[in-house]
Amino acid sequence: GRGDGGEAKSVHSRVAEAYAWPLAEQVKSLAGLLALPDFALDFGRTWRKLGSEDKAALLEMTEVNMAAYYGNEWDDALREKRRDMASLQARYIVVREKGAAGAGAAVDDDAVAGHDAAGGRSGAAAAVAGFLNYRFVIEDEWAVLYVYELQVAEPHRGKGLGKHLLAMAEALARAGQMQGVMLTALKSNAKAMGFYCKSRAYVPSTIDPTHMFPDQAERFNYRILCKMF
């Protein structure tokens, strides 16, 4: 483990240490989650270090998956998502189709002993099947890993990629001494709500506005969900 994990450690220290956590150690903490039969993982990217065609692929996947849920509010939502995705604090795990040119298990800057990093770097030639965009943040006085985006391309749904990416987020949060995982899900996205709440045991956070103001629930089109450790 990293440090003593004591409760006395401040949430600010937890977040600062998580961002300073060497990438090689992060990858090692995911032992057992790095092997996907038909896919390869590109781990530890920032927006700046993603290739231009990768960035376009991630934005397009997000739009294809999410625009219908936002309706005429999508343009504003997309602008906000672009800002969030380009944040200096944002981190990415990208899932690529195995067999695509350039695909292979890869990490950003560190070659990890015992982990095959020979498959290459981020490249547009390796088709993106899904991705996780996360940050280490403080929410309601808790240090958490916040899932900003978890997207899977339509042809690859039903293959367990979403479950696998969420399991990786939870494993990173635990190993990084975060106190839980949080995310936002749209109420209108019944499949996502079912996945998080029924399949993965997420519950409304104490800062979820519907939880805080149940008599005004219709004002809010989203839920803030969490799994605290």
- Write down the pLDDT at residue 104: 47
Strand arrangement of the beta sheet that strand 128-139 belongs to: 106-107, 39-45, 91-97, 128-139, 142-152, 180-186, 222-228, 203-204
Contact 44, 27 (CB under 8 A): yes
Choose among 82, 86, 66: nearest CA to 74: 66
For residue 78, pLDDT beyond 70: yes
| Per-residue pLDDT tens over the stretch 34-49 | 888 889 999 889 999 9
Contact 93, 166 (CB under 8 A): no
Q: How far apart are CA 105 and CA 180, in angstroms?
A: 27
- Write down the pLDDT at residue 155: 94
What is the pLDDT averaged over residues 69-87? 96
Give pTM, 2 decimals: 0.86
Query: Predicted confidence band at 170 (pLDDT cuts at 50, 70, 90)?
Result: very high
Q: How far apart are CA 105 and CA 126, in angstroms?
A: 11
- Write down the pLDDT at residue 122: 42
What is the pLDDT averaged over residues 150-176? 95
Half-sphere exposure (Cβ direction) of 7: Cα atoms closer than 13 Å:
1
- Write down the pLDDT at residue 32: 87
Q: What angle do CA 199, 105, 148 make, to 5 degrees?
A: 45
Contact 153, 129 (CB under 8 A): yes
Q: How far apart are CA 161 and CA 130, in angstroms?
A: 7
Query: Predicted confidence band at 100 (pLDDT cuts at 50, 70, 90)?
Result: low
For residue 123, pLDDT beyond 80: no
Tokens coding 47: 């927006």
Q: Distance of CA 151 to CAs 51, 73, 213, 229, Å?
A: 18, 19, 29, 24
Percent of the chain with pLDDT over 90: 78
* Residue ranges with strand state E in 76-188: 91-97, 106-107, 128-139, 142-152, 180-186
Q: Show Cβ contacts of residue 87 under 8 Å, excluding neighbours closer than 6 positions.
A: 47, 135
